[in-house]
């Protein structure tokens, strides 16, 4: 029966109603005892203070029933029914907050209806209730319980929906705090408010793909996901941040699993420091944003270090490669590429030739030019370091 719909009514006489009201505390007590004995989930929870609260709720429900049974068709029927329905609704919400399903509560309602009917049915007959009215009286009891059950179901559903939305909001606020580098105290407070158990580490994954749910389904169930521009106004609008707990030794497997998607995976960091993972992933996105598959920042650390300060790198290149400044651009580029390969391959001519796809004699000729231009600088460790860094990010077309 829908909540608020009037059950089939009977009008109990004053004498019968008074007799049932006198038994009300005893019926309430017996109802609670029966629920504790017959519904396993409430064997513990209904004892102590919570048991007292439930007993009061049961008494309210029974007292409301008696008022309705005395005057089932009164104009103020809904007002008289209201407190019991509200209490049942609150009871459903409380069950949801406690993490219990409605199964146990509905069982308790059935037990309560049976006990109330057994106790009050016998009492009503003793008080002079016409036996022919016994069936309508039973119908009234069970219809009333149906109303309360429906109210509790609604309360339970509403609490789950509300709790879910509220927790999602708390989790989103926590994620934004993580990404923007809030202090440890603030992060701990937000984690507790969101009922979130912090992992040991977190790793940021940035995704341009519009298929966020598809990617999310392949990540740890406890992954936190937010639009990047919620935490970083400068981030591309289509960018999504996934904050993944405890990647650890599964990193390579995760990269293989996600390959084929335009993603950037930042470094693993202690959970309070995941903002560092986000910042590094953003830097990698700027460098490798056009790649169609996974970019693992752990495999590009040198590039990230070298390009961390673009202006400083440009100044270093200008200083370190000054001997090539007066040459034609094509010739300067060929010598720069040859010097880079020669430094990286530690002067092994055959390896340099294979790297540049030229004849070893070409390498020998170019290196003679380079030695003439750079002189003793090629023997100075500090100068060599500067040259390696200056040339590290230099584009290298695979031709001579």
C-alpha count within 13 angstroms, C-beta hemisphere, residue 188: 3
Handedness of CA 336, 337, 341, 347 (dihedral sign): negative
Please report the sign of the dihedral spanned by the C-alpha atoms of residue 161, residue 165, residue 170, residue 172: positive
3-state class of 224 per DSSP? strand
Q: What is the pLDDT of residue 397?
A: 34
Place of tokens 């407070």: 189
The dihedral built from the CA positions of residue 190, 195, 196 and 197, taken in this order, carries a sign that is positive
Phi-psi region of 375 (alpha: psi -120 to 50; beta: other; left: phi over 0): left
Look at residue 2 in the predicted model and tell me its pLDDT: 35
What distance lies between CA 101 and its chain's CA centroid? 22
Contact call for residues 372 and 327 (beta carbons, < 8 A): no
Residue 203 pairs in a beta bridge with 244, 268
The full set of domain ranges for the chain reads 14-164, 198-306, 310-392
Q: What is the DSSP string of 9-43?
A: -----HHHHHHHHHTHHHHHHHHHHHHHHH-GGGT
What CATH architecture is 14-164? Orthogonal Bundle (1.10)
What is the spatial distance between Cα 246 and Cα 223, in angstroms, rounded to a whole number? 10
* pLDDT value of position 195: 83
Task: Spell out the per-residue pLDDT of the chain, length 400, in tens.
Answer: 333 333 445 667 778 878 888 888 888 888 888 888 888 877 765 555 556 667 777 888 888 888 877 776 666 677 778 888 888 888 888 888 777 788 888 888 888 888 888 888 888 888 777 777 777 777 888 888 888 899 999 988 888 877 778 888 889 999 999 999 899 999 999 998 888 999 999 999 999 866 677 788 889 888 999 999 888 888 887 889 999 999 999 999 999 988 888 899 999 999 999 999 999 999 999 888 778 889 999 998 888 888 888 888 888 888 899 999 889 999 999 999 999 999 989 999 999 999 999 999 999 999 999 999 999 889 899 889 989 888 886 543 333 2
Q: How far is the C-alpha of 324 from the C-alpha of 329, rounded, in Å?
A: 9
Sheet holding 201-207, edge to edge: 224-227, 240-245, 201-207, 263-270, 295-296
User: Is residue 152 within 8 Å of 105, Cβ to Cβ?
Assistant: yes
**Surface-to-core class of residue 318, CB atoms within 10 Å of its CB (0-12 exposed, 13-18 middle, 19+ buried):** exposed
In the chain, how many H helices and how many E strands? 17, 5
Architecture of the domain delimited by 310-392: Orthogonal Bundle (1.10)
Tell me 72's DSSP state: T
Cβ neighbourhood burial of 392 (10 Å; 0-12, 13-18, 19+):
middle
């Amino acid at each position: 029966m829908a909540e608020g719909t009037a059950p089939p009514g009977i009008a109990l006489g004053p004498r019968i109603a008074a007799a049932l009201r006198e038994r009300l505390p005893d019926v309430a007590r017996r109802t609670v005892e029966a629920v504790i004995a017959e519904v396993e989930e409430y064997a513990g929870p209904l004892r102590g203070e919570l048991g007292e609260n439930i007993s009061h709720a049961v008494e309210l429900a029974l007292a409301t029933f008696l008022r309705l049974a005395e005057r089932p068709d009164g104009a103020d029927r809904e007002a008289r029914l209201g407190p019991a329905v509200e209490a049942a609704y609150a009871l459903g919400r409380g069950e949801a907050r406690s993490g219990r399903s409605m199964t146990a509560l509905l069982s308790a309602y059935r037990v309560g209806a049976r006990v109330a009917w057994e106790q009050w049915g016998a009492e009503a007959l003793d008080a002079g209730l016409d036996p022919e009215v016994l069936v309508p009286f039973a119908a009234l009891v069970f219809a009333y319980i149906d109303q309360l059950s429906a109210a509790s179901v609604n309360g339970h559903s509403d609490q789950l929906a509300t709790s879910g939305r509220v927790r999602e909001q708390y989790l989103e606020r926590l994620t934004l705090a993580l990404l923007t580098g809030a202090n440890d105290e603030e992060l701990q407070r937000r984690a507790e408010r969101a009922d979130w158990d912090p992992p040991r580490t977190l790793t940021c994954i940035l995704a341009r793909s519009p298929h966020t749910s598809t990617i999310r389904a392949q990540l740890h169930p406890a992954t936190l996901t937010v639009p990047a521009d919620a935490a970083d106004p400068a981030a591309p609008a289509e960018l999504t941040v996934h904050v993944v707990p405890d990647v650890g030794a599964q990193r390579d497997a995760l990269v293989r699993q996600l390959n084929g998607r335009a993603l950037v995976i930042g470094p693993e960091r202690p959970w309070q420091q995941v903002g560092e993972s986000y910042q590094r992933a953003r830097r990698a996105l700027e460098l490798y944003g056009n790649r169609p598959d996974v970019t693992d920042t752990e495999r590009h650390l040198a590039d990230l270090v070298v390009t961390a300060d673009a202006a400083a790198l440009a100044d270093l290149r200008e200083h370190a490669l000054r001997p090539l400044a007066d040459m034609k651009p094509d010739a300067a580029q060929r010598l720069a590429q040859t010097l880079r390969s020669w430094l990286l391959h530690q002067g092994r001519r055959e390896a340099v030739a294979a790297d540049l796809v030229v004849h070893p004699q070409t390498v020998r000729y170019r290196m003679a030019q380079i030695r003439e231009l750079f002189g003793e600088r090629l023997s100075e460790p500090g100068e060599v370091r500067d040259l390696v860094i200056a040339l590290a990010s230099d584009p290298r077309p695979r031709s001579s």
